[in-house]
């Protein structure tokens, strides 16, 4: 087993533990939150799967991006919510039901939107982009659905101890993630410089910023939920995006690097955004 593969498995394991810890606080009815509140679901769909893909298409048309970066923009724009995001969304003051519902609904919607959207947009640009729905489903099942079910069941078994177990799992998850991301970053850092120039960084950063603004504008009346949708709209599931690129274009390194850079830009930009939103609400 290579070091890179070991770190990838470590990051996936940390994600699974985090979703289990989050679901220890969730309720079964939270999973169906957007079914019970369809207007919130429509707002989220508009922000995530209409506005952001439109922005990606605009940058592809307007900028002379490096080969492969256009593909990365399309894949990012159609990917679901990352499993690690709910921890940030809870800190933003979002409702548990809204966060859990958004995570699950986004995963299910992407099973249809992602393969169909990539095929349509690929045809538009004269490229053959066929994505395996089964592959996307497998990634989402491992990182979202199965850990969610495990956490909900464990919550019933553990009872009052579930909160303590959730905190332990969350801390362990963060340690595992920190180690995995640090090692991977050191390994891929030299290749990232190839993405500088020709509007690549501008396009990736703009997708983050516009995603934050669109999500916050369409997140509904509650400020915490607006922040949650802002984060969800700008930050997408890197595991799904990387998996689609790796299986569809195994030798395409620029789009893989672009997705990793996009993930790093998300962290850099979303932190001050959250602080700004909290200050505007008078939150500590």
Whether the per-residue pLDDT at 91 is higher than 70: the answer is no
* pLDDT at residue number 76: 86
* Of residues 139 and 266, more confidently modeled: 266
State the pLDDT at residue 213: 93
User: Residue 259: what pLDDT?
Assistant: 80
At residue 104, the pLDDT reads: 81
Instruction: Name all domains of the chain by residue range, CATH numbers in brackets.
Output: 1-282 (1.20.1530.20)
Of the listed ranges 159-168, 209-218, 222-231, 246-255, the one predicted with least confidence: 246-255
> Of 253, 173, 191, 242, nearest to 11 (Cα)?
173
Q: What is the mean pLDDT of residues 74-94?
A: 70
- pLDDT for the residue numbered 45: 94
For residues 25 and 169, the answer to whether their CB atoms sit within 8 Å is no
- Give the closest residue to 261 by CA, choosing from 183, 181, 204, 190: 204
pLDDT at 276 over 60: yes
Whether residue 277 has pLDDT greater than 70? yes
Threshold 0.85, pTM exceeds: no
Mean pLDDT across 118-130 = 68
pLDDT at res. 40: 92
Q: What is the four-CA torsion angle of 218, 223, 226, 232, rounded to 10 degrees?
A: 180
Rounded Cα–Cα distance for residues 195 and 192 (Å): 6
C-alpha span between 13 and 7 (Å, rounded): 10
| Mean pLDDT value of segment 256-283 | 78
What are the tokens at 200?
Answer: 């690549």
pLDDT of 100 higher than 60: yes
Q: What is the average pLDDT value for the chain, to the nearest integer?
A: 79
* Region 188-202 average pLDDT: 69
Distance CA 222, CA 237 (A): 25
Tens-place pLDDT, residues 16-38: 887 788 778 777 788 888 989 99
- What confidence score (pLDDT) does residue 88 get? 60
Is residue 283 scored above 60 in pLDDT?
no
Average pLDDT rounded to a whole number, residues 152-160: 88
Most confident region among 88-102, 185-199, 216-230, 246-260 by mean pLDDT: 216-230
Phi-psi label, residue 282: left if phi above 0, alpha if psi -120 to 50, beta otherwise: left
Compute the average pLDDT of residues 223-242: 83
Residue 121 has pLDDT above 60, yes or no: yes
**Which stretch, 61-70, 152-161, 232-241, has highest mean pLDDT?**
152-161
């Amino acid at each position: 087993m290579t070091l890179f593969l070991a770190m990838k498995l470590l990051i996936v394991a940390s994600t699974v533990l985090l979703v289990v810890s989050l679901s220890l606080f969730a309720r079964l009815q939270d999973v169906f939150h957007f079914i019970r509140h369809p207007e919130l679901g429509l707002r989220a769909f508009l922000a995530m799967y209409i506005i952001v893909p439109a922005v990606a298409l605009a940058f592809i048309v307007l900028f002379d991006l490096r080969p492969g970066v256009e593909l990365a923009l399309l894949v990012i724009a159609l990917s679901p919510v990352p499993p690690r995001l709910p921890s940030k969304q809870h800190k933003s003051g979002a409702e548990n039901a809204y966060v859990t519902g958004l995570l699950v609904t986004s995963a299910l919607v992407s099973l249809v939107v992602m393969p169909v959207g990539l095929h349509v947009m690929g045809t538009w640009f004269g490229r053959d982009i066929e994505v395996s729905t089964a592959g996307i489903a497998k990634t989402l099942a491992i990182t979202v659905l199965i850990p969610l079910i495990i956490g909900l069941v464990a919550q019933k078994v553990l009872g009052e101890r579930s909160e303590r177990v959730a905190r332990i799992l969350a801390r362990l998850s963060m340690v595992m993630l920190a180690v995995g991301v640090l090692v991977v970053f050191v390994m891929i850092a030299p290749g990232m410089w190839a993405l500088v120039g020709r509007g690549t960084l501008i396009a990736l950063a703009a997708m983050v910023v516009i995603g934050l603004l669109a999500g916050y504008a369409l997140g509904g009346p509650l400020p915490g939920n607006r922040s949650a949708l802002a984060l969800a709209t700008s930050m997408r599931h890197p595991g799904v995006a990387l998996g689609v690129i790796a299986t569809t274009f195994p030798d395409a390194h620029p789009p893989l690097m672009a997705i990793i850079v996009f993930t790093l830009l998300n962290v850099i930009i979303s932190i001050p955004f959250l602080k700004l939103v909290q200050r505007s609400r008078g939150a500590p």
